[in-house]
Chains A and B, each alone.
Chain A
Amino acid sequence: MPDDPKASAARSPAPAAPAAGEGVTRRGFFSWIGVAWISFSGAMGVASVSTLRFFFPNVLFEPPQTFNAGFPEEYIPGQVDNRFKESFGVFMVRDDSSIYAIKAVCTHLGCTPNWLEAEFKFKCPCHGSGFYITGINFEGPAPRPLERYRIVLADDGQIVVDKTKIYREEKGEWKDPEAFIAA
């Protein structure tokens, strides 16, 4: 601390010069500020890291991507089966010659369509797209048919639906042997 008040006043015309004997030097002041800044940035850094950590949850309650859908005999020809709609987002459909698994996501903007038994069509409640029982779009804005999941028979004769693979009609993929089960 400069002892001579005149000298310090000459160097910098500080309006509120620290009172003598308070014990705050310029250097001391800056080191305190430094400590404060470092701890502040540290805290902010930890906070942001832990925020980022939130994007990676410890447990993910996601239904498995592959599931057993029972035996082909359980499905009635000409009917849409809703039993896996809630849990897996899949409509199981059996027509005269095949069983297929329709992905319950509208190809327009991704709402979940409903199966209307009386009107015999899928109808999306968001913008009114309609699909035949095959999944082919015929009304409303949906630009392409509903997609289908891979479906195969396991060794024990049960149906396995695999949601990791998707078959699109407009690409001609519905003819793929794994896009349906002959029944």
Chain B
Amino acid sequence: MQWFKSAVDWLCNPPILFTLIFIVFFLAYLWKKLTWLWTPRACVVIFLAGGLFVAYGLTDPNFRAIVTKPDNVPIVGMLFLTGFFSWLSMYLGTRNDARIGKNLPPEEKLESEIKILVWPDLVYTEFLCMILWSVLLIIWSIYLKAPIEEPANPAKTPNPSKAPWYFLGLQEMLVYYDPWIAGVLLPGLIIVGLMALPYIDPNKKGNGYYTFAERKWEILTFQFGYLVLWVMMIITGTFFRGPNQNFFGPFERWDVHKVVPLSNINLSEVFWVKMLNLGLPGNWLVREGLGIILVLAYFTVIPMFLGRTLFKRFFEKMGMVRFQILMFLLLCMVSLPIKMYLRWLFNMHYVVAIPEYFFNI
């Protein structure tokens, strides 16, 4: 089975893994031939496969060490839950879509007409859930020790140093961005952007019932940001980042001395030194001119272009201001994978690098 392990390790190299996930994601949601994914049978098959994979992986010492770490056990559970609920929403959505196609009301409409008593029906259910969860938590706390380490010491940073799991997405962003952007700007934009959603998208379809066909674009955008970026980055940070923040496959030994050549290069160096053979200009504005122009163009030309072509309908429906806000948020989100690929494929350090003023993009 060594070939299988090597194959998985190779696939889990982030450039390959993320590319695969992008493809799988869009195919699963958009390719008509794959709608069987949203049936209970497919769900059972996928979960069995996932469970088998984990079970097999547990026979490998390296895989076991990562997955059964008390920190990581809940993440494994969460992955299955995230997968299940993403599937469930699509399953219910496609079922409703079929009903709506036949001019029937969505299932939730029928349900809403059934009367259920709070007492005893709801309260009993809640009571049972409470007892079962308490039992689970107690057993969990007995069998998995809290991952407590030696007293903190500023001179001794554990290697690798990892944030709590829910921050690993942020930590992963920090690998590609300046702390100001990855730690302040982007998280702020995520929150502001989520709050702005109801104003950007006043579409009333899908209120109170599951649907996919009626809100394809919205669901796709959200799930892209959530599943493909956020959850995938938590997975990467948890399972694939080893000592010195190097990438490791799940079956690979965490070798502290693994050497990965990662010499980074700024866009300004590529442009002035490699292409023009001139050496870096002393003035930072001249030096970073190209990068600044590129970033500005990214945020102005692309929305203008898309508004005329691909997103013409959105542009007309939403009006200038709303469309610009939407495009800005969207471009910020997409800038993350762009930056990741630039780093992986070209070792690009920063597109705009002005360390004199702590400003790097």
Contact = CB atoms under 8 A, between A and B. Distances in A.
Interface of A: 85-87, 89, 104, 108-109, 111-112, 114, 116, 118-119, 123-128, 130, 137-141, 143-144, 170-171
Nearest to A86: B155
Contact of B171 (A114, A119, A127, A139): A127
Nearest to B246: A128
Contacts of A138: 263-264
B98 to A, nearest CB: 47
Contact of A111 (B161, B246, B355): B161
A95 B153 CA distance: 29
A89 B155 contact: yes
Interface in B304-361: 349-350, 353, 355-356, 358, 360
Given A138-B263, A139-B264, A141-B174, A118 B156 contact: no
A146 to B, nearest CB: 12
B244 A112 contact: no
A157 to B, nearest CB: 28
Contacts of B244: 116, 123, 125, 128
Contact of B156 (A86, A108, A109, A124): A86
B187 interface: no
B157 A140 contact: no
Q: Which of A86, A118, A125 has the most CB of B within 10 A?
A: A125
B178 interface: yes
Interface of B: 153-161, 171, 174-179, 183, 243-246, 257, 259, 262-264, 349-350, 353, 355-356, 358, 360
A85 B175 contact: no
A140 B174 CA distance: 10
A171 B284 CA distance: 12
The SS class assigned to the A binding surface is loop
A108 B174 contact: yes
What 4 pairs across the A-B complex have the smallest Cβ distances? A128-B245, A144-B355, A139-B262, A125-B159
Nearest to A110: B179
Contacts of A112: 154-157
A111 B153 CA distance: 11
A127 B175 contact: yes
A140 B171 CA distance: 13
Nearest to A119: B259
Contacts of B353: 143
Contacts of A86: 153, 155-156
Given A138-B263, A143-B353, A170-B356, A127 B245 contact: yes
A111 B356 contact: no
A171 B176 contact: no
6 contacts: A89-B155, A109-B183, A124-B157, A128-B246, A143-B358, A170-B356
Contacts of A124: 157, 245
Given A139-B263, A139-B264, 10 more contacts: A86-B156, A108-B174, A112-B155, A112-B157, A125-B243, A126-B171, A127-B174, A127-B245, A138-B263, A143-B358
Contacts of B259: 119
Contacts of A104: 155
Contacts of B157: 111-112, 114, 124-126
Given A109-B174, A127-B174, A143-B178, A85 B262 contact: no
B245 A108 contact: no
A119 B175 CA distance: 20
A125 B160 contact: yes
A182 B155 CA distance: 28
B155 A140 contact: no
A83 B164 CA distance: 31
B360 A140 contact: no
A119 B257 contact: yes
A123, A126, A170 — most chain B CB neighbours (10 Å): A126
Most buried by A among B155, B257, B259, B356: B155
B179 A109 contact: yes
A126 B156 CA distance: 12
Given A86-B156, A109-B174, A112-B156, A140 B245 contact: yes
| Residue of B160, B176, B244, B262 with highest tally of chain A CB at under 10 A | B244
B340 to A, nearest CB: 12
Contacts of A140: 175, 245, 262, 264
Contact of B159 (A114, A139, A143, A144): A114
A143 B158 CA distance: 22
A175 to B, nearest CB: 15
A127 B156 CA distance: 15
A85 B156 CA distance: 9
Nearest to B358: A143
Contacts of A118: 257
A143 B350 contact: yes
Contact of A170 (B153, B159, B355): B355
Q: Which of B154, B245, B350 has the most CB of A within 10 A?
A: B245
